[in-house]
């Protein structure tokens, strides 16, 4: 029994109407609505253009391919993230150089990036985790091309600049439970039209001037894009609800037991996730798991915000900040359709089940 799931897509009448219209048109593959969604996303982020693809993971892979990253190159990425960025680097045949995170924000630590760079470093994948922008200013000063991973953060700013508008390339994911969803889906965005043209050539095999072994079929459909367009129109409303619910968590949970997310000055948080730091009581992974299942028994689904850090999968040592995050970070339910009462109930269960 789950009465408060950890995440939930925000779908309403507008999305149903938009999808139905495409079905009625009989043109359900990629077409004009995909183009409309691409232009809408590019305008929202503040870049020249976007190329819609079938997932965020594919978007990462095509971003790397468009840059010509491959064998003999390396790409820097954080340990504390889902495995999608690592998979994309594997797929293009490059080497992933995994670095630790900032222990306070859970985002990439620019100092670690500087130490990890070599003459073969071609790019840094910069996930903006949980709705909080990474330290783009410090990362940009390193002079390595940045691929911003906006799968978890849209509409947030760092020193007044929109996330997604700073890197050479930006990728988004529209998976069912992301900020803006199309079921599955992704996009590569950039100010560089030549790079976007290469991504376009890679997502489609048909009618190419020559055979390209790296090309594939990973297009988005109009059916998905129609939902994307209506979701994009609602994004401002979604963010207002998320911020209001985050504020209720902040007020109802004692900060000494559940440290709230910290937002460094000059950055804005859009609360894709509300991730607290547990202060006590959970000395071992087993106790953490027990805590999660006690809450699940009462209908509250909380999660580890990252299933397993990459360095743990790969058995790499010396990642103290990612290790700590893996031990103390807890992600609470947060999505636009969650009610104020549910947040208060969740806050009560979180405290009562903490031993
Ligand atoms: C979800 C996610 C991805 C992958 O996106 P998919 O659409 O699921 O392939 C990549 N990076 C981050 C940070 C994500 O949260």
For the stretch 187-239, pLDDT in tens is 999 999 999 999 999 999 988 889 988 889 999 999 999 999 999 999 999 99
pLDDT, tens digit (0-9, with 9 covering 90-100), for 90-117: 999 999 999 999 999 999 999 999 999 9
Residue 252, in any domain of the structure:
yes
Tell me the CATH number at 182. 3.40.640.10
226 and 245 together in one domain: no
Q: Whose CA is nearest to atom 2 of ligand 1?
A: 151
Task: List all residues 6 or more positions away from 64 whose beta carbon is below 8 Å from its beta carbon.
Answer: 75, 88, 89, 92, 94, 123, 147
At residue 55, the pLDDT reads 98
Catalytic residue among 8, 112, 115, 178: 178
Site to substitute for ligand 1 among 152, 176, 228, most atoms within 8 A of C-beta:
152
Task: Using the predicted structure, report yes or no on whether residue 19 has a pLDDT greater than 70.
Answer: yes
CA distance linking residue 167 with residue 161, whole number of Å: 11
317 and 338 together in one domain: yes
Count of CB atoms situated within 10 Å of the CB of 119: 5
Examine the fold and report which residue of 231, 252, 270 is the final residue of a domain before the chain moves on: 231
Separation of CA 353 and ligand 1 centre (Å): 31
Residue whose entry in the numeric block shows the structure tokens 């103390």: 328
At residue 281, the pLDDT reads 53
120 and 89 together in one domain: yes
Query: Which tokens hold the place of 299?
Result: 């209908």
107 touches ligand 1 (CB under 6 Å): no
Separation of CA 59 and ligand 1 centre (Å): 9
**What percentage of the chain exceeds 90 in pLDDT?**
94
24 and 87 together in one domain: yes
177 and 310 together in one domain: no
At residue 136, the pLDDT reads 98
349 touches ligand 1 (CB under 6 Å): no
Closest by CA position to 121, among listed 61, 63, 77? 77
pLDDT, tens digit (0-9, with 9 covering 90-100), for 52-103: 999 999 999 999 999 999 999 999 999 999 999 999 999 999 999 999 999 9
At residue 182, the pLDDT reads 97
State yes or no: is 115 an active-site residue: no
Length of the chain: 355
Examine the fold and report which residue of 195, 214, 231 is the final residue of a domain before the chain moves on: 231
Separation of CA 81 and ligand 1 centre (Å): 9
43 and 61 together in one domain: yes
At residue 207, the pLDDT reads 86
Question: How many structural domains are present in the chain?
Answer: 2
At residue 280, the pLDDT reads 56
72 and 142 together in one domain: yes
List the beta bridge partners of residue 78. Answer: 99
Residue 144, in any domain of the structure:
yes
Count of CB atoms situated within 10 Å of the CB of 332: 26
301 and 260 together in one domain: yes
Helix axes 222-252, 32-45, angle to 10 degrees: 30
153 touches ligand 1 (CB under 6 Å): no
Residue 2, in any domain of the structure:
no
Residue 8, in any domain of the structure:
no
Examine the fold and report which residue of 214, 231, 248 is the final residue of a domain before the chain moves on: 231
Tell me how many degrees the CA angle 300-305-307 measures, rounded to the nearest 5.
Answer: 105
180 touches ligand 1 (CB under 6 Å): no
CB 347 within 8 A of CB 253: yes
Q: How confident is the model at residue 2 (pLDDT cuts 50, 70, 90)?
A: low
Helix axes 340-352, 222-252, angle to 10 degrees: 60
At residue 126, the pLDDT reads 98
2 burial (CB, 10 Å; 0-12 / 13-18 / 19+) is: exposed
Residue 73, in any domain of the structure:
yes
91 burial (CB, 10 Å; 0-12 / 13-18 / 19+) is: middle
- Helices marked H in the chain — which ranges? 13-25, 32-45, 56-66, 84-91, 110-116, 136-140, 193-202, 222-252, 285-297, 310-313, 320-328, 340-352
Separation of CA 175 and ligand 1 centre (Å): 8
241 and 293 together in one domain: yes
106 and 191 together in one domain: yes
In degrees and rounded to multiples of 5, residue 312 shows phi and psi of -75, -40
pLDDT, tens digit (0-9, with 9 covering 90-100), for 257-308: 999 999 999 999 999 999 999 985 577 888 899 999 999 999 999 999 999 9
Task: Using the predicted structure, report yes or no on whether residue 251 has a pLDDT greater than 90.
Answer: yes
What does DSSP say about strands 161-162 and 157-158: parallel, antiparallel, or unpaired? antiparallel
pLDDT, tens digit (0-9, with 9 covering 90-100), for 135-193: 999 999 999 999 999 999 999 999 999 999 999 999 999 999 999 999 999 999 999 99
Residue 1, in any domain of the structure:
no
Average pLDDT, the chain: 96
Site to substitute for ligand 1 among 59, 60, 82, 178, most atoms within 8 A of C-beta:
82
Q: Whose CA is nearest to atom 12 of ligand 1?
A: 151
125 touches ligand 1 (CB under 6 Å): no
CB 75 within 8 A of CB 97: yes
Separation of CA 354 and ligand 1 centre (Å): 31
155 and 255 together in one domain: no
Site to substitute for ligand 1 among 9, 79, 84, most atoms within 8 A of C-beta:
84
Tell me the CATH number at 289. 3.90.1150.10
Instruction: Write b or e for each residue in 130-151: b if 16 or more Cβ atoms lie within 10 A of its Cβ, otherwise e.
Output: bbbbbbbeebbeeebebbbbbb
Residue 184, in any domain of the structure:
yes
Separation of CA 254 and ligand 1 centre (Å): 31
Question: In the predicted model, what is the mean pLDDT of residues 16-44?
Answer: 97
55 and 39 together in one domain: yes
Range of the domain at 335: 235-354
SS3 content of the chain, % helix, strand, coil (to 5): 40, 15, 45
Residue 4, in any domain of the structure:
no
């Amino acid at each position: 029994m789950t009465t408060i799931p950890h995440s939930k897509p925000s779908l309403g009448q507008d999305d149903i109407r938009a999808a139905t219209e495409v079905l009625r048109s009989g043109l359900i593959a990629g077409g004009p609505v995909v183009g409309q969604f691409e232009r809408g996303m590019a305008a929202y982020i503040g870049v020249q253009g976007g190329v819609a693809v079938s997932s965020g993971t594919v978007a990462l892979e095509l971003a790397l391919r468009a840059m010509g990253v491959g064998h003999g190159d390396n790409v820097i990425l954080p340990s504390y993230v889902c495995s999608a960025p690592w998979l994309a680097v594997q797929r293009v045949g490059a080497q992933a150089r995994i670095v630790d995170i900032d222990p306070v924000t859970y985002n990439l630590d620019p100092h670690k990036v500087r130490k990890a760079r070599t003459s073969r470093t071609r790019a840094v994948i910069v996930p903006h985790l949980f709705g909080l922008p990474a330290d783009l200013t410090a990362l940009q000063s390193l002079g390595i091309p940045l691929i911003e991973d906006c799968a978890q953060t849209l509409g947030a700013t760092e020193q007044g600049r929109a996330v997604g508008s700073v890197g050479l390339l930006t990728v988004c994911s529209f998976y069912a439970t992301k900020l803006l969803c199309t079921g599955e889906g992704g996009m590569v965005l950039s100010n560089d039209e030549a790079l976007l043209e290469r991504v376009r050539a890679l997502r489609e095999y048909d009618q190419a001037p020559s055979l390209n072994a790296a090309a594939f079929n990973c297009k988005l459909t109009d059916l998905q894009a129609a939902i994307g367009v209506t979701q994009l129109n609602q994004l401002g409303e979604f963010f207002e609800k998320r911020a209001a619910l985050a504020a209720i968590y902040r007020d109802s949970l004692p900060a000494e037991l559940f440290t709230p997310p910290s937002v460094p000055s000059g950055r804005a948080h859009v609360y894709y996730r509300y991730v607290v730091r547990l202060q006590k009581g959970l000395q071992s992974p087993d106790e953490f798991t027990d805590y999660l299942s006690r809450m699940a028994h009462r209908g509250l689904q909380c999660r580890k915000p990252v299933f397993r850090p990459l360095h743990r999968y790969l058995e790499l040592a010396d990642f103290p900040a990612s290790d700590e995050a893996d031990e103390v970070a807890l992600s609470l339910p947060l999505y636009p359709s969650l009610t104020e009462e549910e947040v208060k109930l969740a806050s009560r269960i979180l405290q009562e089940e903490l031993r």
